[in-house]
């Protein structure tokens, strides 16, 4: 369960930062939930895809790697006011840990987490 005020503050942080992709917090939440549920029900594979016609419409120069958890936390640190306690996020280390059957790095001390 995610605290609405906390998520709203994160989303507003991205709007205040004037980044091109303000949906990064939502993307992180969806992917974090997907990987947690996959682990919970012992799913071995996740197939994903994208629609390059409607999703990948921005020039590379205007984009940023949306899996960058460090970027998400930095933007929130600069523009947010509510501490992130319940909002799920996901990054490359989270994906590698899931694929390797490791523990959930969400609350680890790794710099990306």
> Is residue 54 scored above 80 in pLDDT?
no
Residues 107/84, Cβ–Cβ less than 8 Å:
no
The pLDDT value given to residue 80: 95
Q: Which of the pair, 80 or 24, is modelled with greater confidence?
A: 80
Q: Which of 18, 101, 31 is nearest to 66 (CA)?
A: 31
Q: What would the mean pLDDT of 67-87 be, rounded to a whole number?
A: 88
pLDDT at 111: 42
Separation CA 17–CA 3 (nearest Å):
21
Confidence band of 107 (pLDDT split at 50, 70, 90): very low
Q: Which residue has the higher pLDDT, 3 or 48?
A: 3
pLDDT, tens digit (0-9, with 9 covering 90-100), for 25-38: 888 888 888 888 88
103 vs 18: CA distance, rounded Å: 34
Whether the per-residue pLDDT at 99 is higher than 60: the answer is: no
């Amino acid at each position: 369960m995610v605290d609405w005020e906390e998520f709203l503050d994160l989303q507003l942080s991205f709007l205040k930062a004037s980044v091109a992709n303000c949906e990064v917090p939502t993307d992180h939440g969806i992917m974090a939930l997907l990987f947690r549920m996959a682990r919970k029900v012992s799913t071995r594979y996740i197939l994903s895809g994208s629609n390059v016609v409607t999703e990948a419409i921005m020039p590379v120069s205007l984009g940023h790697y949306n899996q960058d958890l460090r970027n998400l936390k930095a933007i929130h640190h600069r523009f947010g006011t509510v501490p992130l306690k319940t909002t799920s996020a996901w990054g490359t280390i989270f994906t590698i840990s899931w694929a390797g059957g490791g523990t959930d790095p969400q609350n680890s001390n790794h710099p990306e987490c």
